[in-house]
């Protein structure tokens, strides 16, 4: 169980283990142009394998999924792992742009179409990447064969009339989801602190450190490697932009999630020791309401379960593929 120590602290108390940032170069990566942006990606595995697309969350880029991608490719899957717009090594976000998850969903759909695979694909997304994958499945189901949702912060499913919720919506939430109320309250308080540091205090790096600390928790935060902290630094700008001037989380209702589950086989993954209470509660709910969905708790893992325990995550994905995709394709 997460404690309050997972959520509170000051930006000054948190120190990343890396200095500087990795130069933004797409050397060694393939690129594709979609919706007026260039996206860098890695491709691995046999061309005739079941296709998959891996999608990272905030404070991350395609490097986050490299180990998972290689394991899946070695087991016969055709895997594409790309950095979404603004993420390293793509062109960074400017002060005039917003980090809009709706645009990322349109990018993902365009990316799938640009690959010209001639078949549906499995979408595997972590955190906001999971939410983006879910939006694609909702809006473009003809492109998607199955879903793997690793702790998507799909909190809007609890508030059908949008976020920020009205007092009536909060009361409704307390009545219908009493066991999720305290975890969601902790999530909102923590996220508000992050937004305050970035938006009010103007400290993008400090706020970003608080954010990564908030979602992975105390133990896993202090176990981050120098390499991982460099990835955090490389992707602070678009994460901070989302907190400062983003349009917020897209609207998603339980009814829409149920319709997705009726059409598309879904696997939900939750880190056993996750500190992201919003993502945990939302993912638990999705696993409960989406018809046929399976939920797997990943041992020795927090919000970045695919990094903390790539072996179990890879195995869960492959079992999902054997169980669902090859029966439906």
pLDDT tens digits for 268-325? 999 999 999 999 999 999 999 999 999 999 999 999 999 999 999 999 999 999 999 8
Residue 166 has pLDDT above 90, yes or no: no
DSSP collapsed to 3 states, 58-111: CCCCHHHHHHHHHHHHHCCCEEEEECCCCCCCCCCCCCCCCCCHHHHHHHHHHH
Cα atoms found within 13 Å of the Cα of residue 83, Cβ hemisphere only: 28
CATH superfamily of 4-328: Alpha/Beta hydrolase fold, catalytic domain (3.40.50.1820)
Cβ burial, residue 200 (10 Å; 0-12/13-18/19+): exposed
pLDDT band at 65 (very low <50, low <70, confident <90, very high): very high
For the chain, give every domain's residue range: 4-328
Residue 217 has pLDDT above 60, yes or no: yes
Residue 204 has pLDDT above 80, yes or no: yes
**Maximum pairwise Cα distance, the chain:** 53
Specify whether the CB–CB gap between 120 and 248 falls below 8 A: no
Q: To the nearest 5 percent, what fractions of the chain are helix, strand and coil?
A: 50, 15, 35
H helices then E strands: how many in the chain?
A: 13, 8
Quick one: angle between helices 310-320 and 66-74, nearest 10?
50
Model pLDDT, residue 248: 87
51-55, strands of its sheet edge to edge: 30-34, 37-44, 78-82, 51-55, 121-126, 144-150, 266-271, 294-298
Q: Please list the alpha-helical segments (H only) found in 75-203.
A: 101-115, 128-139, 167-176, 178-195
pLDDT over 90 for what percent of the chain?
83
Q: Please provide residue 144's backbone torsions phi and psi, each rounded to the nearest 5 degrees.
A: -115, 125
Query: Tokens standing for 64?
Result: 């986050």
Model pLDDT, residue 40: 98
CA dist., res. 51 & res. 168, Å (int): 44
């Amino acid at each position: 169980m997460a404690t309050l120590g997972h959520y509170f602290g000051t930006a000054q108390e948190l120190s990343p283990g890396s200095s500087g940032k990795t130069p933004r170069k797409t050397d060694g990566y393939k690129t594709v142009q979609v919706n007026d942006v260039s996206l860098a990606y890695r491709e691995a595995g046999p061309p005739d394998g079941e296709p998959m697309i891996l999608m990272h969350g905030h404070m991350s880029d395609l490097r986050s999924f490299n180990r998972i991608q290689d394991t899946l490719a070695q087991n016969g899957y055709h895997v594409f792992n790309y950095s979404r717009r603004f993420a390293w090594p793509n062109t960074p976000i400017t002060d005039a742009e917003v980090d809009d998850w709706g645009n990322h969903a349109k990018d993902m759909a365009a990316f799938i179409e640009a690959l010209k695979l001639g078949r549906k694909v499995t979408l595997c997304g972590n955190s906001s990447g999971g939410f983006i994958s879910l939006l694609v499945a909702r809006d473009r189901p003809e492109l998607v064969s199955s879903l793997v949702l690793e702790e998507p912060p799909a909190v809007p499913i609890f508030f059908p009339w949008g976020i920020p919720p009205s007092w009536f919506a909060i009361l409704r939430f307390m009545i219908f989801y009493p066991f999720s109320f305290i975890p969601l309250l902790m999530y909102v308080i923590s996220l508000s602190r992050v937004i305050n540091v970035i938006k009010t205090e103007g400290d993008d790096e400090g706020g970003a450190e608080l954010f990564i600390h908030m979602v992975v928790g105390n133990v896993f935060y202090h176990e981050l490697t120098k390499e991982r902290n460099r990835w955090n630094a490389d992707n602070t700008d678009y994460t901070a932009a989302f907190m400062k001037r983003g349009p917020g989380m897209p609207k998603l209702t339980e009814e829409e999630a149920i319709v997705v589950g009726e059409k598309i086989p879904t696997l939900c993954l939750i880190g056993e020791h996750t500190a992201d209470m919003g993502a945990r509660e939302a993912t638990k709910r999705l696993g409960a309401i989406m018809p046929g969905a399976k939920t797997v708790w990943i041992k020795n893992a927090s919000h970045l379960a695919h990094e903390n325990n790539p072996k179990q995550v890879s195995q869960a994905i492959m079992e999902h593929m054997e169980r669902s995709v090859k029966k439906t394709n």
